[in-house]
Each structure stands twice: as structure tokens, then as C-alpha cells.
């Protein structure tokens, strides 16, 4: 009787583990086309100040994506850029969160989810604790997609920021002059990981060379 109970228990355990594994596999997309896309309407503004921005909290909106060789799973954020009638600049900002900075790796995909461009995190420019990247968008009657994932080359590193506030006062006795200086220094560190927020803004590209828009 005890042996029979043990056999039944083991069978239930294996069945449960198998169901969990299948559920996890089903929840992880095998291609970007299987991901739920967030739609950003690419309506360029005349200036960046007037541009419509959209913020995507990465940890809350990312979904599981399995690599083509099925060796790695990673969180991925898919954003659809609607058709754009005129040349535009696409501004992306990786905004640091309270616990992490997203080292974003960006892939631009066409309407069939074929890769057009790949931008590793090295292409982003540091702005304080945040990082920015500006892309040029050609006019297109078809939507395009932005696939955002953590750049594995940066995971495990640390985002550093040192900021200071220094003041100098001049003094004089009439015959002798001098200065007094003082200040403070603040340091902040965050790990690079699957945190923070991705911000997207689009503005009209006004650069014209010989009657044609510069790329």
C-alpha cells in the first residue's frame, strides 16, 4: 500500500512539473511576432518640446522572449510605430528607476518583424543617470517595430554618477584680497538590469540638404 501511494505521488509530482514547464514555455514567445505590441502613433511635432512622449515601465510591460537558438530567455518590450508620412527623429531615453538602469539594446523591425537596424547600448549617450539615443525615421506607409531588450554585455555592471555643488566667495580688506571655497559631492550608483522606464518622443526632421532630407 505504501509503495502504491509513493508511485501515485511521484506520478502527480512529475505531471505537475511537466504542466508548469509547458505553461512557462507557452508564456515565453519564440519570436517578436508573438509579443503583444504597444502602439505609439508617430505624429511628429515641430520641436522636441512639443513632441508627444510615451513612457513604458520596462518591468511592468516587458514579456518573455526566447532566443532563436532557444538557449536564452530575456524580457522584451515591443513597440509599434505607426506609419510616418514625413521624415522624423525618434528620441529614446532609458530613464533610471529606483533600483536599476535598463541597458537597452534596440532593434528596429519592419512590418514583417524582419530586423532593419540593431543598436547596442554602446550607442546610447549618458545624460546624468539616464541614457539617450536619437534615430532618423524615413517616411513609411507601413508600421515599424521597436524591440527593446537588456543588452547582455552590460548586465552586471554599475551605473555611476558623481555630482557636486561648489561655491566660491571673494573677500577683500582693501589691501589684501582672497577667496573662500567650499562644496559638497553626491555619488549615486545603480546596477544595470531589467528596470527603469523607456521614453519615446518623435519630432519632425527639419534638416534639408540640396532639397532632400539628410539621413
Which strand (E) or helix (H) includes residue 181?
strand 177-191
pLDDT in tens, 168-187: 666 566 555 555 655 555 67
CA angle 117, 122, 128 (to 5 degrees): 125
CA–CA distance, 215 with 207 (Å, rounded to integer): 9
Residue 75 has pLDDT above 90, yes or no: yes
pLDDT at 173: 61
CA–CA distance, 117 with 181 (Å, rounded to integer): 50
Phi-psi region of 211 (alpha: psi -120 to 50; beta: other; left: phi over 0): left
Among candidate residues 125, 107, 123, the one with its CA nearest the CA of residue 115? 107
pLDDT at 102: 97
pLDDT in tens, 21-56: 333 455 899 999 999 999 886 555 555 455 578 899
pLDDT at 49: 55
SS3 205: coil
Q: What are phi and psi of 49, to 5 degrees?
A: -60, -35
CA–CA distance, 95 with 84 (Å, rounded to integer): 25
pLDDT at 17: 38
Mean pLDDT of 202-210: 60
pLDDT in tens, 98-150: 999 999 999 999 999 999 999 999 999 999 999 999 988 888 888 889 999 99
Instruction: Domain ranges for the chain, please list them.
Output: 36-205
The string of DSSP letters for 57-116 reads EHHHH-EEEE-TTSS-EEEEEEEEEPPBSS-EEEEEEEE--SS-B--EEEEEE-TT--EE
SS3 195: coil
Choose between 60 and 47: higher pLDDT: 60
DSSP class of residue 12 equals H
Residue 208 has pLDDT above 50, yes or no: no
Give the residue ranges of DSSP H helices in 28-50.
none
Note the pTM of the prediction, 2 decimals: 0.71
Grid cell in block for residue 73: 530567455
Amino acid at each position: 500500500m505504501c509503495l502504491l501511494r509513493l508511485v501515485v505521488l511521484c506520478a502527480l509530482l512529475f505531471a505537475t512539473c511537466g504542466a508548469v514547464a509547458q505553461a512557462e514555455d507557452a508564456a515565453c514567445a519564440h519570436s517578436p511576432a508573438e509579443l503583444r505590441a504597444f502602439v505609439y502613433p508617430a505624429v511628429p511635432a515641430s520641436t522636441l518640446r512639443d513632441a508627444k512622449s510615451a513612457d513604458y515601465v520596462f518591468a511592468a510591460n516587458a514579456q518573455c522572449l526566447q532566443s532563436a537558438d532557444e538557449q536564452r530567455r530575456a524580457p522584451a518590450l515591443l513597440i509599434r510605430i505607426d506609419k510616418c508620412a514625413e521624415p522624423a527623429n525618434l528620441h529614446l531615453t532609458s530613464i533610471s528607476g529606483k533600483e536599476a538602469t535598463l541597458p537597452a539594446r534596440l532593434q528596429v523591425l519592419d512590418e514583417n518583424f524582419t530586423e532593419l537596424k540593431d543598436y547596442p547600448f554602446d550607442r546610447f549617450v549618458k545624460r546624468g543617470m539616464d541614457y539617450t539615443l536619437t534615430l532618423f525615421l524615413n517616411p513609411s506607409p507601413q508600421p515599424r517595430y521597436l524591440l527593446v531588450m537588456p543588452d547582455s554585455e552590460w548586465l552586471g555592471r554599475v551605473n555611476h554618477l558623481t555630482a557636486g555643488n561648489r561655491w566660491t566667495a571673494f573677500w577683500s580688506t582693501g589691501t589684501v584680497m582672497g577667496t573662500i571655497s567650499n562644496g559638497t559631492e553626491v555619488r549615486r550608483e545603480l546596477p544595470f538590469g531589467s528596470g527603469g522606464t523607456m521614453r519615446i518622443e518623435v519630432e519632425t526632421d527639419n534638416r534639408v540638404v540640396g532639397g532632400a532630407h539628410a539621413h
